[in-house]
Amino acid sequence: MKTDTTAKTNIDTAATQESWQLLLDAQGLQCPLPLLKAKRAISQLAQSDHLKVLATDSGSQGDFAAWTKLAGHRLHQSECIDGVYHYLIEKT
């Protein structure tokens, strides 16, 4: 699998394992839909659970970074792999 290192940002290297309670596939959706669907999805989770989001909208990088910071959630992963943005968010 080829990794686009120019768009890769590892937010928390301690969260190296790929474990999540809910996977949201937002590929093909344009702003603001990936973020809106993620907000709805994370509301279904318990505190400390993880949401994995897959998106293809490049604007989602800024959206997810800002939203998790404002909402107080932890963004463990934010990287682009073959044009797909992967986010791992811990609900706090």
Q: What's the pLDDT tens digit per position in 27-64? A: 999 999 999 999 999 999 999 999 999 999 999 999 99
pLDDT bin (cut points 50, 70, 90) of residue 24 is very high
Average pLDDT along the chain: 86
Catalytic residue among 11, 22, 31, 33: 31
Give exposure, 9-18, as e/b (b: 16+ Cβ within 10 Å): eebeeebeee
Known active-site residue 31: yes
**Which letter does DSSP use for residue 9 in this model?**
B
Give the pair of three-digit tokens for residue 40. 């709805």
12-33 average pLDDT score? 80
Q: What span, in angstroms and rounded, lies between the C-alpha atoms of 70 and 55?
A: 20
Q: Where are the domains of the chain?
A: 22-90
Question: Taking a C-beta distance cutoff of 8 angstroms, is the pair 37, 23 a contact?
Answer: no
Provide CATH code, domain 22-90.
3.30.110.40
To the nearest whole percent, how much of the chain has pLDDT over 70?
A: 80
Question: Taking a C-beta distance cutoff of 8 angstroms, is the pair 56, 49 a contact?
Answer: no
pLDDT at 18 (0 to 100): 67
12-20 average pLDDT score? 56
